[in-house]
Structure 1
Amino acid sequence: MTALAVSSLAAQEPAPPPVVGTWDLTLTARDGRPRPSWLEVHVSGNGVLVGRFVGVVGSVRPISRLTYANDTLRFAIPPQWEGGAADLQFAGVVTGDGLGGTITDPNGTPYPFTAVRAPALRRATPTWAAPLPLFNGKDLTGWHTVGGTNQWSAVNGVLTNAKGGANLVTDALYTDFKLHVEVRYPPRGNSGVYLRGRHEVQVEDSVVTNADAEATGGLGAIYGFLIPNQNAAKGAGKWEML
C-alpha cells in the first residue's frame, strides 16, 4: 500500500516548465558580431527555478531564483567583469523550442539574443582524423579577433600576445575535438583558452600568484568549475602543455 501511495503522489507532480534545461545562447554585440553565452535552468525543491549562467566574459555564476510567467523567463544577477554597478538583467520569451529576448548588462546596454537547447553529449565515439595545426607559425591566417584592440602577432614561430586586448578566435568551427596547447606566460601572467565560448582553461602564473590561484583555480583549471588536484605549474617563462 505504501509503494502505491508514493507512486500516486509522484504521478500528480506537475510537469517542469519548458525553460528547464541547458541553453546555448547567441548574443548580438554592438558591432553586429555574434557572441556565445549559456544558461542552465533547474527545478529546486517545490518548484523554485534556480540555475547557472555564463556571460560573454567571466566565469559561471549561480542564479538563486528565476521566474517564469506568461511564457517569459526572467532573472537578475550582480555584475561580474562587465563593469557597471547595476544587476545584469535577463528576459527571454519561449518560442517553440527556443528562447529569444534581451540581456541588459550592468551599464544598461541591451544585447538581443536567441537560444537553442544544448545538444546531448551522449553520442557514439568519434573517429579521430589526423591532427590539424591551428597556427602556421608565420601569421594569424585562420584566426580573427573579437573585443578590444588586437595585440596578437607571430614572433619567431610563436603566437604572442603583447598585452591585454582582443581575444583570438579560430575562423573554423569544430565538432568533437582533442586540443593540444603549449603555452608560456610572463610573471603574474593571467590568460586562458576558451572552449566553444563556454568553458575557459585557465592559463596563469599559479606558482607565484598562489592567492590569485585560489580564486581562479590556477593553471589548467576549468575556470569556475574544476580546480586541479595539484599545482603542476612549472612557473613563468617555461613551456607548459595543456
Structure 2
Amino acid sequence: MKTLFASILATALISTAAAQDVKEFLGRWDMTVTPATGKPYPQWIELTDNGGKIEGKVQPRGGAWHPIVGAHVDSGKLIVDLGEARPGTDISWELTSPSAGKLTGIEKRGGDTGPTLAGMKAPSLDRPMPKKWTKPRPLFNGKDLTGWEPIGNVENNKWVARNGELVNDNPEVLGQKMRPAANIMTTEKFQDFKLHIEVNCPEGGNSGIYMRGRYELQIGTEGGKLPSHEMGAIYSWYPPPAGAENNLGKWTSYDVTLVGRHITVYRDGKLYHDNVELPGPTGGALDSNEAEPGPFYLQGDHHGVIAYRNITISVPKK
C-alpha cells in the first residue's frame, strides 16, 4: 500500500511540475527566426491550455496562420509540432523556459537543426481611443515617390506616380510565372492612426495594405475559396461581412482606425470590422516588434496593375 501511495504521489508531483512548466510558455509570443544565412524574419505563436492539452496557432513567414499539431514538455523544453513544412518533412520548435518575458530555441526540420528562435511576450497594446486627432495630411503627393521606398524585390520595382495615383505597374497576371515585383512602404513610421486610402484593383488582382508593416488589410482576391483571404478581410483573421462582394475593377475607399491592437475598417462607408482585436502579425509582416511604430506598406509582388490614391493620415493630437 505504501509503495502504491508513493507511486501515485510521485506521478502527481511530476504532473504538477509539468503543468507548471507548461504554464510558463502559455500566451502570445512575437517570434524572430534567424537562419544560418540570410536575414531574420518574423513569425508569431499563441499557446493555450485546454484541459491539460496544449493547443495553439502559429503564423508562418507568409500566408495564413494555422493550428499547431501539438506540444509537450521534455527535459524543461517545450517541443512544439508545427506540422509539415513540405510533404514528408516535419517542422518543430524546441523552446527553452522563458526568462524575463523572452523565449529562445531552435527550429528542426525532419530532425535537422535549423534556424535559431527568439521570442518576446506579445504586448497587450491596450490603449484608450484618443479624444482628438490631427487634421488629415497626405502620405502621397500624387507627383512622385517622395516619402515612399521600394522593398523586397527592389531590382524589379514597378511602382510609379502617374496622374495623381500610386501605381504598381506590374503586368503579372494570375497563372503566369514572372519575376516578382517590389513592394513599397512609407519612410515614416506610425503608432496609432486614422488612415484614408482609395484603391482600384483589377479582376484577379492581389495586393494588401499593411498597418505598421505587420497587419494586412487584404486587397483583391486569392480565388474566392476563403472569405478571410478576400477583399476587405484582415488577412486570415477576419473575413469581410457576410455577402460582401469584391467589386474589383473600380475605385473603392477604406477608412481605417488602429489604436493599440484594435482596428475598425469602413469600406465605402460600410462597416467591415468593428474595433476587432488583432491577435498578432499576419503573413508577410516586416517584423514582429508589435510594441514599436511601423510604416505602411503596399504589396506589389502579387498580381495585377493596382493603383492607390488620396492616401491621408491622422494621428492622436497631443
TM-score by length of 1: 0.74
Aligned residue for 1:182? 198
For the residues of structure 2 that align with 1:109 and 1:170, how far apart are their CA atoms?
Answer: 37
Checking the alignment, whether the CA contact within 8 Å between 2:95 and 2:105 is kept in structure 1 is: yes
Q: How does 1:18-167 map to 2 (within 5 A)?
A: 18-28=24-34, 30-32=37-39, 34-46=40-52, 48-78=53-83, 86-93=89-96, 94-103=98-107, 110-126=114-130, 127-137=132-142, 138-139=144-145, 141-146=147-152, 149-161=156-168, 162=170, 163=172, 164-167=180-183
Checking the alignment, whether the CA contact within 8 Å between 2:231 and 2:246 is kept in structure 1 is: no
* Further displaced range: 164-173 or 36-45: 164-173
Question: Per-residue deviation at 1:84?
Answer: 7.2
For the residues of structure 1 that align with 2:160 and 2:126, how far apart are their CA atoms?
Answer: 38
Report the secondary structure of 2:103's partner residue: strand
Checking the alignment, whether the CA contact within 8 Å between 2:69 and 2:83 is kept in structure 1 is: no
| Relative contact order higher in (CA < 8 Å, ≥ 6 apart) | 2
Report the secondary structure of 2:224's partner residue: helix
Checking the alignment, whether the CA contact within 8 Å between 1:23 and 1:117 is kept in structure 2 is: yes
* Further displaced range: 16-25 or 153-162: 153-162
Checking the alignment, whether the CA contact within 8 Å between 1:36 and 1:56 is kept in structure 2 is: yes
Aligned residue for 1:229? 241
Report the secondary structure of 2:138's partner residue: coil
Question: Per-residue deviation at 1:59?
Answer: 1.0
Question: Per-residue deviation at 1:105?
Answer: 7.0
Q: Deviations over 1:66-86 (max 9, x none)?
A: 223344333233457xx7762
Report the secondary structure of 1:181's partner residue: strand
Residues 143, 69 of structure 1: alpha-carbon distance in 2 compared, 3 angstrom cutoff? farther
Checking the alignment, whether the CA contact within 8 Å between 2:103 and 2:119 is kept in structure 1 is: yes
Q: Deviations over 1:130-161 (max 9, x none)?
A: 33433333116333412574333333332222
Bigger Rg over Cα: 2
Q: Deviations over 1:55-102 (max 9, x none)?
A: 22111111131223344333233457xx77623332332343201233
Q: Deviations over 1:189-223 (max 9, x none)?
A: 12222334543222125xxx8xx223143211122
Q: Which runs of 5+ in 2 are unaligned?
A: 1-15, 173-179, 255-318
Identity among equivalent positions (%) equals 31
Question: Per-residue deviation at 1:234?
Answer: 6.0
Paired residue type of 2:159: W
Paired residue type of 2:225: E
For the residues of structure 2 that align with 1:186 and 1:151, how far apart are their CA atoms?
Answer: 16
* Further displaced range: 164-173 or 51-60: 164-173
Q: How many residues align?
A: 221
Aligned residue for 1:7? none
TM-score by length of 2: 0.58
Residues 214, 169 of structure 1: alpha-carbon distance in 2 compared, 3 angstrom cutoff? same
Checking the alignment, whether the CA contact within 8 Å between 2:150 and 2:182 is kept in structure 1 is: no
Query: Could you say which structure has the higher strand fraction?
Result: 2
For the residues of structure 2 that align with 1:73 and 1:185, how far apart are their CA atoms?
Answer: 44
1:214 paired with 2:214, answer no
Checking the alignment, whether the CA contact within 8 Å between 1:25 and 1:37 is kept in structure 2 is: yes
Q: Which runs of 5+ in 1 are unaligned?
A: 1-12
Residues 72, 170 of structure 1: alpha-carbon distance in 2 compared, 3 angstrom cutoff? farther
For the residues of structure 2 that align with 1:229 and 1:78, how far apart are their CA atoms?
Answer: 31
Aligned residue for 1:200? 216
